[in-house]
Amino acid sequence: MKSFILGLGTMMASVTLGSLLAFSSEAWTAELPLQMGLLKMLHDIYSFLLTPLSSALGAPSLGGGVYLGVWPLIIWILSSALIGLLTGEPYRAAKIVFTSTLIIFSFWIFSNFMLYPLHSGNLAWLSEVDRLMSDLFLYRSLDILFFLSVPSIVSATTAFLIFYIVSSRSKASEIEEEYPAW
């Protein structure tokens, strides 16, 4: 359990740090109080991560406006590969990455309901949230499948390769010890 939580923290930190480095200029606004500004910044950088496939194919970010390119895809793949390298166990690596993608997705959904009432009127924020949710769930549903499955597959594959390399080297060293070269 301890290694799972440590891996989950590492995955969340690497995805968040990568997103901050790639998207900080698009996400930060100083017009809100500090805590709400940080919440909005995390919401915005996670919004960028929710559409890696669409972004790589040239579509704008959720809500329109910003073109992100392949950065969300690169962030997901590198962070997932890092977890696979660190764990070395395919099942644990996939579980850590899948849980972190669910946390990011859940955070994004719930932060919509916390942030949009601040910027819009009494009922206008509902239409803004509806527009974002429709954009993601109706028009970019492949992105949801992509970011829920591909990072887990990448981390499990990386962990399997590391496990295979380490086990083959240990078998080779056992054979050398058993049959030394003259």
Count CB atoms within 10 A of the CB of residue 57.
13
Question: What is the distance between the alpha carbons of residues 19 and 36, in angstroms, rounded to a whole number?
Answer: 18
User: How distant, in Å, are the alpha carbons of 23, 90, 106, 157 from that of 152?
Assistant: 23, 9, 17, 8
Bridge partners for 60 per DSSP? 67
For residue 176, give both structure tokens.
């050398």
Q: What is the pLDDT of residue 179?
A: 65
Residue (of 85, 98, 84, 103) closest to 147 by Cα position: 98
163: burial class by Cβ within 10 Å (0-12, 13-18, 19+)? middle
Q: What is the pLDDT of residue 103?
A: 94
Q: Which residue has the tokens 């591909």?
A: 150
User: How distant, in Å, are the alpha carbons of 39, 59, 100, 128, 129 from that of 79?
Assistant: 22, 23, 11, 31, 29
Estimate the crossing angle of helix 141-178 against helix 90-119, to 10 degrees.
150
Q: What is the pLDDT of residue 121?
A: 67
Question: Amino acid identity, residue 8?
Answer: L
What is the per-residue burial (b if ≥16 Cβ within 10 Å, else e) of 115-126? bbbeeeeeeebe
Count CB atoms within 10 A of the CB of residue 39.
17
**pLDDT tens track, the chain, 182 positions:** 788 899 899 999 999 999 888 876 655 556 767 788 888 888 888 888 888 888 888 887 776 667 778 888 999 999 999 999 998 888 999 999 999 999 999 998 888 888 877 766 667 777 778 888 888 888 888 888 998 899 999 999 999 998 888 777 766 666 666 666 65
Q: What is the DSSP letter of 88?
A: -
Q: What is the pLDDT of residue 176?
A: 65
For residue 113, give both structure tokens.
């309901």
| Predicted TM-score (pTM) of this structure | 0.82
